[in-house]
Homo-oligomer: A and B are copies of this chain.
Amino acid sequence: MDVYVVSEFAPDIDACQHRCVSNSRSLLELTPVETVACCSPLVQEPISAEQADGIAPLLKAIADPVRLRLLSLVASHEGAEACICDLNEAFDLSQPTISHHMKVLHEAGLVDRDKRGVWVYYRIRPQALAGLAALIGCPVP
């Protein structure tokens, strides 16, 4: 199996990319969020097949109307954090369905979670959203 080192795809190494390279981790070992952080913006240079494979799960996670709403509900909630009980109330869906969608967002690396008492709380990972936005094409400041 070929293992590609991130630096092969990123000749112009910025601070973020340096972290990837200095860890000597191959793209195949990175999470979707880490892969996004290692990519140049889509418009800057063609992304590689390995990068695209790494990023697609992150986009798939938010390419669902319910998950997009759940993500926005958590992100716009006070402290960018919400209890699963608040999320359940906002949808006409069963609790297991909501929990399943939140699990997909968590596994994609878009939210952190922790249990407090009987409830699970979800917190947005701002760097994941910022990385995805930068990849797609934020205006250069």
Whether B65 and A129, one on each chain, are in contact in the complex, defined by CB atoms closer than 8 angstroms, is no
Whether A65 and B56, one on each chain, are in contact in the complex, defined by CB atoms closer than 8 angstroms, is yes
User: Per-position contact with B for A54-83: 1 when CB-CB < 8 Å, else 0?
Assistant: 011001101111101101110110001000
Whether A43 and B124, one on each chain, are in contact in the complex, defined by CB atoms closer than 8 angstroms, is yes
How many chain A residues have a CB neighbour from B under 8 Å? 40
Find residues 64-111 in chain A having any chain B CB closer than 8 Å to their own CB.
64-66, 68-69, 71-73, 75-76, 80, 90
Protomer copies = 2
Query: Roughly how many angstroms separate A80 CA and B43 CA in the complex, as a whole number?
Result: 8
Closest to A132 in B: B136
Which of A14-22, A23-31, A44-52 lies at the binding interface?
A: A44-52
Q: Does A120 contact B (CB under 8 A)?
A: no
Interface class of chain A by DSSP: helix
Cβ distance A47 to chain B, nearest Cβ, rounded Å: 5
Q: Contacting A68 at CB < 8 Å: which of B59, B66, B124, B139?
A: B59
Apart from the given pairs A43-B72, A62-B63, A130-B139, 11 other A-B contacts in the complex at a CB distance below 8 Å: A46-B76, A52-B65, A55-B65, A59-B62, A62-B136, A129-B136, A130-B137, A133-B133, A133-B134, A133-B136, A139-B141
Task: Give chain A's interface residues, CB within 8 Å of chain B.
Answer: 42-49, 52-53, 55-56, 59-60, 62-66, 68-69, 71-73, 75-76, 80, 90, 124, 126, 129-130, 132-134, 136-139, 141
